[in-house]
């Protein structure tokens, strides 16, 4: 159905919410298809046609096939990124989403790759980050197209397949294609994210130490990704344990809201701690199983290698998401606090002894300073190296017409005042100098990204379709903004 020219002249005469609601069944069908693809980066099984593994490539092609079905022009970049185009004009508005996901991890009540609809929510890995929001933005384009509204700018919806890791797909896109002039990523929260902290990973590597002692640690492992607070951790001890070690373990678990179990091994005891996984952008949203397990075990282990490893965790990483004990605490009036999340742990007495830390830092401090301060705080027995320089802080002024327009759209659709926000998360919005993140999580909603039982309220997805359609409409009614 087409709208008249008169109707298309004024966004306030279009019932965006009613139009969006008519797409609910189609959108959920497509979302179920995308959730069913376990699109975790899998370079161990990469091929020439799937550099990031078969599932990310499959998810990308599924998204492009949806767009082709609906009559959009599409373009595939090496099966690692893609583009959906709509409209006409020299100015290019970019929408940047992703169809890759983090590993499912443990703790799910249902299959993470089989979408489940329950109590008005759709559950599944990627439902909130970022397959659900990506489809909301896509259906906004479909709504405009179906209504016969042609933007006066070219809208380029760019789809990535490695946003949760090192952005290889988007790097390949930028190396081969011209980027849009400005735009937004539907990969965060409303009302807007116009500031994003720098994101980097640093690794602590421990110097070789003697392994003699009455009580030794033979293994310590935790973590799935460097951007996820570890939900589970295991450690194996051999030698003499305190007579009341079981009572101490049980008491620690009860006092600290973690689960601790133990099992006999051939030469000792293996301990397992279960905390609560979360996105590393806010470590306080999770319970770090690794730092809790280390804090429990540190007083018992006296072999120099194991003790140094555990005591370092206890003294410098446990319950300190702002980096105070690493001497890197810093805060900015616009972007807020620096955060430090210890996310990957490996210890073997005669092998690897490392800890990977995800640091998200505001404007006003740089990565070299962070590294130097950490090194000084930890001393000579630990080497601090930058393993992923990542991204520097990114900010788009609240006076920019893009920010003003998006905040006005949000306010018109929700009745709530729009406001600038900065986050520790990294989105594709930062790729463009005039790029921001815009939705799709509503204020006050539980943030379940990267967690077990990830979900998104269906009403929020459909609300986002309306908001995105109106936002794209307003931004593209002139040849430039």
7 pLDDT band (50/70/90 cuts)?
Answer: very low
pLDDT at 260: 98
For residues 399 and 404, what is the distance between their CA atoms, to the nearest angstrom? 7
For residues 321 and 361, what is the distance between their CA atoms, to the nearest angstrom? 12
The mean pLDDT value of the chain amounts to: 95
pTM of the model as a whole: 0.81
pLDDT at 165: 86
Strands 195-196 and 422-423, by their bridges, are: parallel
pLDDT at 85: 98
- Taking only the tens place, the pLDDT of each residue in 242-266 is 999 999 999 999 999 999 999 999 9
pLDDT at 11: 55
304: which 2 tokens? 């120099």
- Taking only the tens place, the pLDDT of each residue in 112-158 is 999 999 999 999 999 999 999 999 999 999 999 999 999 999 999 99
CA distances from 332 to 271, 338, 395, 403 (A): 40, 8, 12, 20
Range with lowest mean pLDDT among 9-23, 37-51, 99-113, 320-334? 9-23
Q: Which residue, among 33, 49, 55, 138, has the nearest Cα to 100 in the 3D structure? A: 55
- What domains lie within the chain, and their CATH numbers? 5-196+394-475 (3.40.630.10), 199-391 (3.30.70.360)
- Taking only the tens place, the pLDDT of each residue in 363-387 is 999 999 999 999 999 999 999 999 9
Q: Is the peptide bond before 130 cis (omega within 30 degrees of 0)?
A: yes
pLDDT at 2: 35
Instruction: Work out the angle between the directed axes of helices 24-35 and 131-146 (0-180°, nearest 10).
Output: 140
| Residues of the chain above pLDDT 70, percent | 98
480 pLDDT band (50/70/90 cuts)?
Answer: confident
208 pLDDT band (50/70/90 cuts)?
Answer: confident
pLDDT at 447 over 60: yes
Q: What is the mean pLDDT of residues 465-469?
A: 98
Q: What is the mean pLDDT of residues 31-51?
A: 97
pLDDT at 356: 98
pLDDT at 312 over 70: yes
pLDDT at 5: 40
CA distances from 260 to 10, 152, 229, 300 (A): 60, 60, 17, 16
Q: Which residue, among 422, 430, 360, has the nearest Cα to 183 in the 3D structure? A: 430
Q: What is the mean pLDDT of residues 222-228?
A: 93
pLDDT at 213: 81
pLDDT at 359 over 90: yes
- Taking only the tens place, the pLDDT of each residue in 63-102 is 999 999 999 999 999 999 999 999 999 999 999 999 999 9
What positions carry a catalytic annotation?
100, 163
For residues 260 and 254, what is the distance between their CA atoms, to the nearest angstrom? 9
pLDDT at 12: 56
pLDDT at 6 over 70: no
| Residues of the chain above pLDDT 90, percent | 92
Contact criterion met (CB below 8 Å) for 199 and 109: no
Higher-confidence residue of 454 and 480: namely 454
186 pLDDT band (50/70/90 cuts)?
Answer: very high
Contact criterion met (CB below 8 Å) for 445 and 359: no
């Amino acid at each position: 159905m087409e709208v008249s020219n008169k109707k298309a002249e004024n966004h306030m005469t279009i019932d965006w919410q009613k139009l969006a609601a008519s797409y609910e069944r189609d959108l959920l069908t497509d979302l179920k298809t995308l959730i069913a693809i376990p699109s975790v980066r899998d370079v161990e099984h990469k091929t020439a046609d799937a550099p990031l593994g078969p599932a990310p490539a499959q998810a990308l092609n599924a998204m492009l096939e949806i767009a082709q079905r609906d009559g959009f022009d599409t373009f595939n970049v090496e099966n690692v990124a893609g583009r959906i185009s709509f409209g006409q004009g020299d100015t290019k508005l970019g929408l940047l989403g992703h169809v890759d996901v983090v590993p499912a991890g443990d703790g799910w009540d249902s299959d993470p790759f089989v979408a489940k609809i329950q109590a008005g929510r759709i559950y599944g890995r990627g439902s909130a980050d970022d397959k659900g929001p990506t489809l909301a933005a896509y259906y906004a384009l479909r709504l405009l197209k179906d209504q016969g509204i042609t933007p006066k700018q070219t809208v380029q919806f760019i789809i990535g397949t490695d946003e949760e890791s090192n952005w290889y797909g988007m790097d390949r896109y930028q190396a081969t294609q011209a980027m849009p002039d400005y735009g937004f990523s539907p990969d965060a929260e409303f009302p807007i994210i116009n500031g994003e902290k720098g994101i980097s990973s640093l690794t602590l590597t421990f110097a070789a130490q003697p392994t003699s002692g009455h009580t030794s640690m033979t293994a310590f492992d935790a973590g799935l990704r460097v951007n996820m607070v570890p939900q589970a951790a295991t450690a194996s001890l051999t030698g003499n344990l305190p007579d009341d070690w079981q009572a101490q373990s049980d008491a620690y678990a009860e006092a600290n809201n973690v689960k601790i179990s133990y099992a006999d091994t051939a030469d000792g005891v293996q301990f397992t701690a279960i905390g609560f996984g979360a996105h590393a952008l806010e470590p306080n949203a999770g319970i770090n199983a690794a730092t809790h397990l280390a804090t429990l075990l540190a007083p018992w282990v006296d072999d120099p290698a194991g003790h140094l490893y555990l005591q370092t965790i206890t003294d410098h990483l446990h319950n300190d998401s702002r980096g105070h004990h690493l001497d890197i605490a810093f805060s900015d009036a616009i972007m807020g606090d620096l955060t430090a999340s210890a996310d990957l742990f490996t210890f073997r007495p005669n092998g690897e002894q490392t800890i990977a830390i995800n640091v998200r830092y505001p404007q006003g401090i740089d990565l070299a300073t962070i590294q130097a301060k950490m090194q000084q705080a930890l001393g000579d027995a630990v080497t601090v190296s930058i393993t992923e320089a990542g991204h520097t802080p990114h900010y788009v002024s609240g006076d920019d017409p893009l920010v003003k327009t998006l905040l006005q759209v949000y306010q018109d659709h929700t009745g709530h005042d729009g406001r600038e926000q900065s986050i520790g998360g990294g989105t594709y919005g930062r790729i463009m100098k005039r790029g921001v993140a815009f939705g799709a999580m509503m204020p006050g909603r539980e943030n379940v990204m990267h967690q077990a039982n990830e979900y998104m309220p269906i009403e929020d997805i459909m609300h986002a379709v309306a908001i995105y359609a109106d936002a794209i409409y307003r931004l593209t009614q002139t040849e430039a903004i």
